[in-house]
Amino acid sequence: MAEVFSGAASSLAEADANERLIAAAPDLLHACRELLEAVEELSRDPHMGDSLREGIERGRSAIAKAEGAA
């Protein structure tokens, strides 16, 4: 039996991985939003370093991109 796939995937394994990622995308976005909220709250502590604030900005950018705003 042969399986057929199309699109940009170069193999059936890659196509399957893409399918799983697409299916998980809404849950991943929701988890990222919740995590970002928690980290933003932590960042209010003046002892937190710049790397945490930089991570927050990267998170905001990634979420905006996923939502079509970037």
pLDDT in tens, 17-67: 889 999 999 999 999 999 999 888 888 888 777 778 888 899 999 999 998
Q: What is the C-alpha separation between 49 and 58, in angstroms, rounded?
A: 15
Q: What is the C-alpha separation between 9 and 19, in angstroms, rounded?
A: 10
The pLDDT value given to residue 70 = 63
- pTM metric for this prediction: 0.67
The pLDDT value given to residue 46 = 81
Is the pLDDT at 4 greater than 80? The verdict is: no
Q: Are 29 and 66 in contact (CB under 8 A)?
A: yes
The pLDDT value given to residue 54 = 87
Q: Give the E-state strand segments of the chain in sequence order.
A: none
pLDDT band for 7, please (50, 70, 90 cuts).
low
